[in-house]
Structure formats: C-alpha cells, structure tokens
Amino acid sequence: MLGTPSAEIEIDALLVSQLLAAQHPDLQNLSIQFMDAGWDNAMFRLGSHLAVRLPRRAVAARLLENEQHWLPQLAKQFSIAVPVPYRIGLPDSLYPWHWSVIPWLPGQTADEIQLNVEHAQQFGWFLKRLHVAAPSDAPKNPFRGVPLIQRVSMLHERMQRVKAQTALITPTLRVLWQQAVDAPIDGEPTWIHGDLHPRNILVDKSGVTGVIDWGDLTAGDRATDLAALWYLFPEQHVRQQALDAYGEVSEATLTRAKGWAILFGVILLSSGLVDHAQHATIGQKILQCIAQA
C-alpha cells in the first residue's frame, strides 16, 4: 500500500440518508454534506450540529466500535471536547458495519493556523488527563503504542521511498530514529489516542476546541502521543510550554517521542506524495521540525 487505502464500500450522501431513514428517522430531514474521507472513515456533516462517521474499510469498523464503547467513559476526564457518539448506527442490509452520529465540533484543524502558548498549555493538560492507567480490557493495537523496534522494517521501506523523492531523510534524522529505537520504555502503559496528527486537533485563535478521530485508542507507550508536540509546535519555547503543562517526562520518553514523530512524518509524507497533498505537507513539516529541534 503506497497511498490512501481504497474504500471497500461506496459511501455517499444517498447511503447516509437511507441509513438515517431506516434507523434514526428523526434525523433524516437534516441536510447532508460530504466533508472528508481519511484512511479509515468517511465524514458527512448532518445539519448544523451533527456529523455522520462511517468506516470505509472492514479493519476500520472494529476501530469505530472501540471508539463507540470507550470514548463516552474517557470523555469525562477532559475539559476539551471530544466526539462522544450521539447515536449509534447498526449493520443492516444497506451497510455492513457500525457507524456513528456524533457532535460537529467547532474549530479549524491545527494545520491551518499557527499555534501559540495557550494552545500548547491546553494540549499539555489534555495529554496529562489522557495518559492514565487503562483497564486490562482496553483495546489492543499492533501499530500504536508498541516498542518502536516493531516498526523498523516498515519505516525503513518508507524512508527509502521518501529519500528517492526528497532530501528530508538526512543522516541526522537516521541517528535520531536509531536513538529512539534503542531508548527503553521506562514507564507503564497508559491510555493513548494513537493518532494525534494536526488534522485530528481542532483549534481556534484562543485555544484547542476539540480532539477527534479516536479509532486508534489503545493502551501503550505514551511517547506515541507526545510525538504530537513536534507536529504542532515547531518553536521550541512553545513546545516547552506544553511539556511544562504535561509534567515530568524522562529523557528516554522524549527520545522515543521524537522517534514516533519521525515515524508519523515519514508515513504521512510517503503516502501523501502518492495522492494526498495535505498529508505530504504535514509530513514534510514534521521531519523538518525534528531535524531542527
């Protein structure tokens, strides 16, 4: 897989309308507008205050069910809004998987606005509240929160593709990656979001307004989420404000976080160069930030 995974089922506004009519008829007369489709889900705005989120692939259907089950419980910990399901859609003859009606959260995605100290402090506080011990039945995820040694083969292949097309895979970046792989995991697993790239963080000029796309929610290495400090805050003094709000972090954890930032940067850039210019731009900025940090 080089670019964005293909959808395994055609999802359009007509399907959404039919699903609502069959399962939530009180919502069927609201306007439906396609907004975006990521690797896993398609999103439609529903009226002015709601949205419909539907998996595009079978592998994403399980992730959405995790989100439906766990997010209502976790949301109580946060002062920042998260899309707790308002209604849950069930598989039927029209569509084979669970789907959600969720609140439409206000704000721009974090790649569209320059973030400041207030954003950084709020984001640090959010991570502090998220990174607590998870129960034994927390969802498992083989790709997020795991030891970085498990991602070496995948990343090496993508690095080679990016190196052939850009000058971003520098000797310094490779050294930082190897240091991250070698750094020990020196803390207990916690809840992690698992996919805090800038398009999953909603902001306005005054602060962080929401955190979306919780399908990769799992228990694992918190460095996976701390990597977002380099996605969101390229200026070191602003990034430090987020760390101060978060609290004590070991050098080993910060080293692993840089490794996760490299991993996500390479993934976004390598796939984005194929078919998603926004992802390519985000990946490029992440790698440039890490190289300069």
Nearest to 261 by CA among 241, 281, 291: 291
Tens of pLDDT, residue by residue over 75-120, are 999 999 999 999 999 999 999 999 999 999 999 999 999 999 999 9
State the span(s) of the chain assigned CATH 3.30.200.20: 13-103
Give the pLDDT score at 1: 53
* Averaged pLDDT, 118-133: 98
Nearest to 129 by CA among 190, 191, 77: 77
* Averaged pLDDT, 235-253: 97
* Averaged pLDDT, 162-168: 95
- Catalogue the long-range contacts made by 94-97 (C-beta closer than 8 Å, 24 or more residues apart): 94/15, 94/18, 94/19, 94/22, 95/9, 95/15, 95/19, 95/54, 96/9, 96/58, 96/61, 97/54, 97/55, 97/58, 97/61, 97/64
Per-residue pLDDT band at 190 (split at 50, 70, 90): very high
For the chain, give the mean pLDDT: 96
Q: Which residue has the higher pLDDT, 165 or 293?
A: 165
CATH of domain 108-292: 3.90.1200.10
Tens of pLDDT, residue by residue over 11-68, are 999 999 999 999 999 999 999 999 988 889 999 999 999 999 999 999 999 999 999 9
Give the pLDDT score at 5: 83
| pLDDT at residue 2 tops 70 | no
Q: 208 with 122: CB under 8 angstroms? A: yes
Neighbouring residues of 94: CB distance < 8 A, sequence distance ≥ 6: 15, 18, 19, 22
Per-residue pLDDT band at 136 (split at 50, 70, 90): very high
Per-residue pLDDT band at 249 (split at 50, 70, 90): very high
| pLDDT at residue 293 tops 90 | no
State the span(s) of the chain assigned CATH 3.90.1200.10: 108-292
* Averaged pLDDT, 238-257: 97
Per-residue pLDDT band at 275 (split at 50, 70, 90): confident
Tell me the CATH architecture of domain 13-103. 2-Layer Sandwich (3.30)
